[in-house]
Chains A and B, each alone.
Chain A
Amino acid sequence: MAASTEIPPSGDARWHDLLSGAVRPMYKCLALRILMIRLTHAYDRSDADRPALVEELRGFFRDNLRFARDDFATIFQGAAR
């Protein structure tokens, strides 16, 4: 459940690693596979509102953690930086 899992704060560098494409996990859930196409393309634009994109991705995990748990674990194993 989302309430029992802490979503890393927006300042965690791993959000930016994901959105910039510096880190490319093999996503398992369909929703994340599709969402990340849009977010990474948006993040790459020179006029991107990157904090808003991080918040959107954080929101995705907050709202959908029960079916995105495996992806969350792959990305955020270990303590938030």
Chain B
Amino acid sequence: MMGPNPHRQGQSLYSVAEVTAMLAAGETLILAAEEAMLAALPRGDWIGGTSPYFMTAEAGGTYSRDRIFVQRMPDIASVAWVGMLDRAALPDMAALGPDNGYTILLMPGQSEVHRDFALNGLEWRDMFRRPVVGWVTGVAGDAAATDRPKVFDGRSGRSADDAAVVLHVALPDNAFAKVDIVNLFVPDMDGPVLTFADETGFTVERVLVDGVPTRLVDHIAANGIDTRLPLVADYNGAMINVATAAIDDAAGKVSFFAPVHEGIEYRFARPIGEYSQQFAEQVGTPRGEVAFSCNCILNYLYAGLEGQHTGTMVGPATFGEIAYMLLTQTMVYLVIERD
């Protein structure tokens, strides 16, 4: 049963006309939809990215090509800065933000800004000065050959497949933002430790399996590993996934939706049971006002979430999630708390 949730009020799917009315009323919106829906909107205080998959309170997992998922900026918040940043400017994005607040970052999938952020974002100046959340945009599977993942800046009316859109949100002194994640995957401690030394990044051939060099494709085949299960690394207690994107047997290479890094120990994840139920149990009811959330398209697809509810969290299903760094197969949320 999904009763009314005061924390999620107004965060759902709407028509172009309904979103246009919200903008006319002065709302600041974070939007997700197919490109044609976002392109039909008037200029205003909104940012958006392409995705036709959503987790909604009303219908659970939903696929829609003619509606727009709306996340409203909270009433106590204000826009500190919003705009597009290209590959050269994005590493300095933190300098444009407020003293107190948070940042929402949307990046086109398969773009250079996506790649740069994934590989180097943690090194960018002042990236931990305030919470950073966001997601990677994408397109529906049947449109992958013709459409490009895009981001939109409503103020300028621009869209881009090679730049990020950044919304720096300011909060009053009596409030603060906090980011957390929900990740049901944990490393299978019965499995070997995988490390990457000579090759890192989005595509690799070689891996050290408990210190022994081998080809990752051979390790996967020899052990019958279900690559819908991500690699998981323990970041001081935070389980960080790296999801497999493709296996190229001919080339002997494995590609990922996020990079593997040198110096990090990975294991493939243990299988999980009923995703939607476990997810709802783990997320519980976060303290504070949920101002932003998103969940990975791979969770949506692999766990069969269409029509399934996952507790109180709603938002777009995304092609990479951002909580300071690029994540995969993870739900990210940001809450606003008051002193």
Contact surface of A with B, Cβ cutoff 8 Å: 1, 24, 26-27, 29-38, 41, 56, 59-60, 63-64, 66-67
Contact = CB atoms under 8 A, between A and B. Distances in A.
A14 B123 CA distance: 23
Given A59-B129, A64-B130, A66-B337, 20 more contacts: A24-B236, A27-B237, A30-B179, A30-B180, A31-B179, A32-B236, A33-B236, A34-B325, A36-B236, A37-B236, A37-B264, A38-B122, A38-B123, A56-B128, A59-B128, A60-B128, A64-B129, A66-B339, A67-B178, A67-B337
Contacts of B130: 63-64
- Select the residue from A30, A32, A38, A60 with max chain B CB neighbours within 10 A: A30
A33 B179 contact: no
Contacts of B240: 34
Given A63-B128, A63-B130, A67-B178, A33 B238 contact: yes
Interface of B: 122-123, 128-131, 176-181, 235-238, 240, 263-264, 323-325, 337, 339
A76 B231 CA distance: 34
14 contacts: A27-B236, A30-B179, A30-B238, A30-B323, A31-B128, A31-B179, A33-B235, A33-B237, A34-B240, A35-B324, A38-B122, A60-B128, A64-B130, A67-B337
B325 A31 contact: no
Given A34-B325, A41-B263, A66-B176, A26 B128 contact: no
Contacts, number: 56
A60 B129 CA distance: 6
A7 to B, nearest CB: 15
Nearest to A63: B129
B337 to A, nearest CB: 8
B339 A1 contact: yes
B237 to A, nearest CB: 5
A64 B128 contact: yes
Nearest to A27: B236
A67 B176 contact: yes
A41 B129 CA distance: 20
A26 B234 CA distance: 12
A60 B130 CA distance: 9
Contacts of A37: 235-236, 264
Contacts of B122: 34-35, 38
B129 A26 contact: no
B324 A31 contact: yes
B195 to A, nearest CB: 13
Contacts of B263: 41
A45 to B, nearest CB: 10
Contacts of B236: 24, 27, 32-34, 36-37
A81 to B, nearest CB: 23
